[in-house]
């Protein structure tokens, strides 16, 4: 075992001990011993047979002996320990290295890549141009939103900071004791704070949470990351990163994503846009205030002196002028929240007004031989101004295509033209093209729309009124035709939009992915449409709904083929393409390690541009701490640059044939269970907490788009439900049939060569193996025994048998004796977590049974304990939906 592993274990042990002290103080030694007995029992069970029955009669008895009043504190104890283990594991990624210990891959990835490329003969100038031109946008989304409350997240971050202090080897005993006392106090504060919200967050609350991630982490991480990029670029090419370069920027769906969420209204979008401006002004005000205090120099360049005549401290004078404008901007944004307020000349409107005074100071300091001062906090502020700007993040708007068609149908009926929704595609396009080119308004002033149509039009008016730099794209979910894009363009035109805005079709289901090429081809054949393109054609690829529709085997291949088709069509038309990847956090929603995923995209699909969603709990895990955020930003830049300069090889024709067969068998097997089995829906609702998840105040979005079966469920509760029971069904169902049949046909060698030589296939199998290692058939069986009617239990047994078949197929492909044999450290993490997860699963199954029998109130101890187990299992598995 390495020293790093030992230090991680020491951290876990320390925080566990301090949590034990807190529990003892409230409940006494006898109660703490009960918890320890349960923990030791779970640990012993896993040691006896790590892959077998996870819960022995002894452990079951310990849990059965708990009194009703003990269920909640026991659930909370195991939940809190898993959150503390997460903190330790996350801190392990960024802890101080001793001399001689290797730097983590994340820190070295870009420098190593540039070195490899220059050694292979790539021109340093070309590499520098390519890196500077990178256009990566991470779109922060709220779904599935954090299980943990924001107040607890802040305490967890403080605990991580104390672990960093505790890591210093030169602390005196008094200093070490002081750190330990602070840790004890923080853990006690977390213990005595409710884990579960009593009410759902509003969309504005979610947006504020996103802003807090920027304030507390990314504000520091971005300039640090860009310093690292600058150093790597200079070492490899001799060139510096220009001040205007921002390889990664940020957008958001929080407050703009109204697809199936009636809580996101035009008023909410307006409020979130103003709050973003308020937050940006406030953050820059803090920076500029400090710079004005620091930059007390007198010597300055002529251009700077021209902006501060007769001043003995010209830098301060210029910065204080900027400070007053930032204050005016912040005050105006706040005053405008209740209603529109005119902006006076002091309010900053264009990002150049923020950047130019900072650039003036920077250039002057360098010109006067004070570059070391310029390259400090002033450079960091300049980098933030370029990356975040006056609007902090660009807000996307998303709405379902049916809402636009409904609005247009209402309008055309009012005008006596018939019902737009009833027309065929040719008639719709003809009408839309004609009206887009028409100078007269389509909407008469006397038109009184229904509530739904009024909301669609109000949103379009907010888009038209907002500054262009504050907005990202208008995304159309469930897009299926060229008319869906033109419909939004027309509604925006009628609402007063006089500038170009990217209107982005989102192709989500298997059928829509297969139809993406023809839709794009039809659009690009329209001369007037081509004229509206200012920059690249953006297309969004949906991962969650395609996987829910067809299973991950067929969905992954459909996504790959759709991207290939879109690349070819855009190349044929001479149009640049920007692919927007709607990846979830889990494998079942298309998630997985971003670095590997980017390198596995079809050749030509990552041409210096990459746009992707970052959602829910993954935002905290990847960007919640500045050092971890910096690592992940480094990975994104390295991966996008590598995928651009060294795209993966085209798959061989034989590999395509195999993937076609795998996808066909996968979707058939998946749908035979999910859609065609007559009792599947009922089994799902009995065997998982799906019903209870609807009561969990996770986010502002309803769990369902509409009434109905599995197809009506959002991907979040669909994935979340199976994750809680450890069956993980959406992430693997279909692969067992596809791989099993291929191996039976003697395709083993070809599959092995695909895995070795084709990044797309290798990444899919690696993600599949990871999720199978998290799955646990014995845990899933416990839920069946306690919750599922006897008549439905054979279906559960069948699904667990399919899980076993999938594991066998993957092992047959990889040649390993057990899953993740190549990654013992990961298995060790899983083993550590299982000790605390097993009791939570057993508790949850019991609590579900009691809750369903009693229909307990949401604020009852029983229901609270149940929701705590949900949060604890999500924390232990490091993913929700």
Q: What is the pLDDT of residue 700?
A: 56
Q: How far apart are CA 583 and CA 351, in angstroms?
A: 30
Mean pLDDT, rounded, of the chain: 90
Residue 704 lies in a domain: yes
347-376 per-position pLDDT tens digit:
999 999 999 999 999 999 999 999 999 999
Q: Does the pLDDT value for residue 287 go beyond 60?
A: yes
Least confident interval from 106-110, 142-146, 184-188: 142-146
pLDDT for the residue 590: 46
Would residue 551 count as lying in a domain? Answer: no
One domain, residues 15 and 76 = yes
Rounded Cα gap, residues 606 and 563, in angstroms: 10
Residue 633 forms part of a structural domain: no
Helix (H, G, I), strand (E, B) or coil at 235: helix
Q: Which residues contact 448 (CB under 8 A, 6 or more apart)?
A: none
Q: Residues of 164-181 as b/e, b for ≥16 C-beta within 10 angstroms? A: eebeeeeeeeeeeeebee
C-alpha span between 431 and 408 (Å, rounded): 11
Q: What is the dihedral of CA 209, 210, 211, 213, to 10 degrees?
A: 90
559 pLDDT band (50/70/90 cuts)? Answer: very high
- 699 contacts 142 by C-beta, under 8 angstroms: yes
Residue 303's pLDDT band (boundaries 50, 70, 90)? very high
Return the ∠ at Cα 190 (arms to 189 and 193), rounded to 5°.
Answer: 90
Q: Could you confirm whether 43 is annotated as catalytic?
A: no
Strand partners of residue 475: 398, 504
Tokens linked to 813: 């492909």
Alpha-carbon 276 to chain mean position: 19
Q: Are 836 and 874 in contact (CB under 8 A)?
A: no
Measured CA to CA, the distance from residue 103 to residue 542 in angstroms comes to 35
CB 546 within 8 A of CB 555: yes
Per-residue exposure over 80-101, b if at least 16 CB sit within 10 Å of its own CB, e if not: bbbbbbbbbbbbbebbeeeeee
Could you give the CA distance from residue 855 to residue 708 in angstroms, rounded to a whole number? 22
pLDDT beyond 50 at 555: yes
Taking CB atoms within 8 Å and a gap of at least 24, the contacts of 670-673 are 670/550, 670/551, 670/553, 670/554, 670/733, 670/734, 671/550, 671/551, 673/733, 673/799, 673/802
680 occurs within a structural domain: yes
Of the residues 34, 143, 166, 493, only one is catalytic, namely 143
Greatest distance between any 2 Cα atoms in the chain: 90
Cα 734 to chain centroid, rounded: 25
Q: Structural domain of residue 664, as residue ranges?
A: 653-822
* 52 has a pLDDT exceeding 50: no
Q: Look at residue 685 and tell me if it is in a domain.
A: yes
**Domain assignment present for 238:** no
Kindly state whether residue 165 falls inside one of the protein's structural domains.
yes
Whether residues 738 and 808 fall in one domain:
yes
pLDDT in tens, 622-677: 898 899 999 999 999 999 999 999 999 999 999 999 999 999 999 999 999 999 99
877 and 818 within one domain: no
Are residues 346 and 367 both part of a single domain? yes
The pTM assigned to this predicted structure is 0.93
Final residue in a domain of this structure, among 822, 846, 868: 822
Res. 826 pLDDT band, cuts 50 70 90: confident
CA angle 507, 509, 510 (to 5 degrees): 110
Q: Compare 827 and 878 and report the one with higher pLDDT.
A: 827
pLDDT greater than 70 at residue 703? no
Q: What is the CATH number of the domain that holds 283?
A: 1.20.1440.90
The per-residue pLDDT for 877 is 85
| 143 catalytic per annotation | yes
What's residue 145's pLDDT? Answer: 41
Encoding tokens for residue 203?
A: 């969309």
Listed range (443-447, 689-693, 733-737) with the worst mean pLDDT? 689-693
CB-CB contact of 774 with 830 (8 Å) = yes
Q: Looking at the domain assignment, is residue 511 inside a domain? A: no
Tell me, yes or no, whether 682 and 781 share the same domain.
yes
Beta bridge partners, 394, equal 251
Please give the structure tokens belonging to residue 169: 């080897």
Q: Take residue 814 and report the two structure tokens written for it.
A: 């990889």
> Which pLDDT belongs to residue 708?
53
Domain boundary among 370, 391, 412: 391
| pLDDT tens track for 741-793 | 999 999 999 999 999 999 999 999 999 999 999 999 999 999 999 999 999 99
Same domain for 754 and 837, yes or no, is no
As for how many domains the chain has, the answer is 3
Q: 842 and 697 share a domain? A: no
How far is 512 from 541, CA to CA, in rounded Å? 10
763 and 833 together in one domain: no
In whole angstroms, what is the distance from residue 736 CA to residue 734 CA? 5
Mean pLDDT throughout 372-394?
98
Q: What ranges in 438-504 are assigned the alpha helix state H?
A: 451-465, 482-494
- Nearby residues of 345 by Cβ (< 8 Å), 6 or more positions away: none
Tell me, yes or no, whether 770 and 866 share the same domain.
no
**Statement to judge: residues 763 and 838 lie in one domain:** no
810/835 same-domain check? no
Query: Domain end: 342, 375, 391, which one?
Result: 391
Q: Which residue has the tokens 């510096």?
A: 240
Total residue length of the chain: 881
Distance, in Å, from the CA atom of 613 to the CA atom of 585, rounded to the nearest integer, reads 9
Backbone angles phi, psi at 701, to 5 degrees: -90, 135
Q: How far apart are CA 636 and CA 588, in angstroms?
A: 22
Q: Which of 34, 166, 404, 548 is catalytic?
A: 548
**pLDDT of 49 strictly over 60:** no
How many DSSP H helices and E strands does the chain contain? 39, 8
705 and 683 together in one domain? yes
The three-state (H, E, C) secondary structure of 599-660, written as one string:
HCCCCCCCCCEEEEEEEHHHHHHHHCCHHHHHHHHHHHHHHHHHHHHCCCCCCCHHHHHHHH
Residue 869 near residue 715, CB atoms below 8 Å: no
């Amino acid at each position: 075992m390495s020293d790093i592993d030992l230090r991680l274990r020491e951290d876990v042990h320390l925080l566990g001990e301090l949590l034990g002290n807190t529990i003892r103080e409230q409940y006494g030694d006898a109660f703490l011993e009960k918890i320890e007995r349960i923990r030791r029992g779970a640990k012993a069970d896993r040691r006896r047979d790590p892959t077998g029955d996870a819960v022995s009669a002894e452990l079951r008895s310990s849990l059965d002996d708990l009194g009703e009043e003990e269920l909640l504190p026991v659930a909370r104890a195991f939940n809190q320990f898993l959150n503390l283990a997460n903190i330790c594991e996350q801190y392990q990624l960024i802890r101080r290295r001793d001399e001689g210990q290797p730097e983590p891959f994340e820190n070295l990835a870009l420098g190593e890549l540039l070195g490899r490329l220059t050694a292979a003969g790539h021109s340093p100038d070309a590499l520098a141009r390519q890196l500077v031109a990178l256009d990566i946008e991470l779109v922060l989304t709220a779904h599935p939103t954090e299980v943990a409350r924001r107040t607890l997240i802040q305490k967890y971050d403080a605990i991580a900071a104390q672990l960093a202090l505790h890591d210093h080897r030169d602390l005196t005993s008094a200093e070490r004791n002081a750190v330990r006392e602070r840790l004890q106090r923080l853990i006690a504060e977390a213990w005595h704070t409710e884990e579960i919200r009593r009410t759902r967050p509003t969309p504005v609350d979610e947006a504020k949470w996103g802003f807090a991630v920027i304030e507390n982490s990314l504000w520091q991480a971005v300039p640090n990351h860009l310093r690292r990029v600058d150093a790597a670029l200079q070492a490899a090419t001799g060139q510096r990163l220009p001040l205007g370069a921002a390889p990664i920027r940020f957008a958001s769906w929080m407050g703009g994503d109204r697809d199936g969420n009636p809580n996101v209204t035009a008023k909410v979008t307006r409020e979130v846009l103003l709050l973003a401006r308020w937050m940006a002004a406030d953050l820059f005000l803090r920076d500029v205030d400090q710079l004005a205090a620091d930059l007390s120099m007198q010597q300055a360049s002529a251009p700077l002196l021209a902006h501060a005549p007769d001043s003995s401290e010209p830098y301060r004078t210029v910065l204080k002028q900027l400070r007053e404008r930032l204050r005016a901007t912040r005050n105006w944004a706040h005053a405008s929240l209740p209603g529109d307020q005119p902006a006076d000349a002091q309010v900053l409107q264009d990002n150049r007004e923020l950047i130019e005074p900072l650039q003036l100071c920077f250039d002057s300091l360098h010109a006067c031989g004070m570059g070391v001062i310029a390259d400090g906090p002033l450079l960091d502020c300049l980098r933030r101004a370029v990356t975040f700007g006056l609007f902090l993040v660009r807000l996307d708007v998303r709405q379902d295509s049916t809402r636009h068609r409904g609005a247009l149908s209402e309008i055309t009926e009012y005008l006596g033209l018939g019902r737009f929704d009833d027309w065929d595609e040719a008639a719709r396009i003809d009408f839309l093209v004609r009206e887009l080119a028409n100078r007269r308004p389509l909407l008469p002033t006397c038109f009184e729309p229904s509530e739904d149509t009024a909301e669609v039009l109000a949103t379009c008016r907010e888009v038209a009124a907002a500054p262009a730099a504050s907005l990202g794209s208008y995304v159309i979910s469930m897009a299926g035709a060229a008319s869906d894009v033109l419909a939004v363009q027309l509604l925006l035109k009628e609402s007063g939009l006089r500038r170009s805005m990217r209107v982005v079709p989102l192709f989500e289901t298997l059928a829509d992915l297969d139809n993406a090429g023809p839709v794009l081809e039809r659009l690009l054949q329209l001369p007037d449409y081509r004229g509206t393109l200012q920059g690249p054609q953006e297309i969004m690829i949906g991962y969650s709904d395609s996987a829910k529709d067809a299973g991950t085997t067929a969905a992954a291949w459909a996504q790959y083929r759709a991207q290939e088709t879109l690349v070819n069509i855009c190349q044929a038309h001479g149009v640049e393409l920007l692919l927007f990847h709607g990846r979830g956090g889990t494998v079942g929603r298309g998630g997985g390690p971003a670095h590997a995923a980017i390198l596995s995209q079809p050749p030509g699909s990552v041409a210096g541009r990459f746009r992707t969603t970052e959602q829910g709990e993954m935002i905290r895990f990847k960007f919640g701490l500045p050092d971890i955020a910096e690592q992940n930003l480094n990975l994104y830049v390295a991966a996008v640059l590598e995928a651009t300069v060294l795209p993966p090889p085209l798959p061989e024709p034989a590999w395509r044939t195999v993937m076609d067969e795998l996808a066909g068998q996968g979707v058939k097997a998946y749908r035979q269970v999910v859609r065609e089995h007559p009792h599947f829906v009922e089994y799902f609702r009995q065997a998982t907490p799906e019903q209870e998840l609807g009561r969990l105040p996770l986010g502002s979005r309803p769990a369902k788009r509409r009434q109905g079966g599995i197809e009506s469920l959002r991907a979040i509760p669909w994935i979340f439900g199976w994750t809680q029971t450890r069956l993980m069904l959406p992430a693997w169902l279909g692969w067992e049939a596809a791989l099993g049949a291929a191996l039976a046909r003697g395709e083993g060698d070809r599959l092995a060569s695909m895995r070795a030589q084709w990044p797309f296939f290798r990444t899919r199998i690696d993600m599949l193996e990871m999720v199978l290692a998290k799955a646990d058939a014995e845990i899933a069986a416990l839920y069946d025994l306690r919750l599922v009617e006897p008549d439905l239990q054979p279906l559960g047994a069948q699904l667990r048998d399919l899980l076993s078949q999938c594991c066998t197929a993957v092992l047959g492909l990889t040649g390993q004796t057990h899953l993740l044999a190549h990654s013992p450290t990961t298995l060790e993490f899983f083993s550590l977590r299982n000790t605390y997860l097993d009791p939570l699963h057993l508790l949850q199954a019991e609590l579900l049974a009691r809750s369903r029998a009693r229909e307990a109130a949401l604020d009852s101890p029983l229901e609270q304990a149940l929701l705590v187990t949900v949060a604890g299992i999500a924390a232990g598995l490091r993913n929700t939906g």
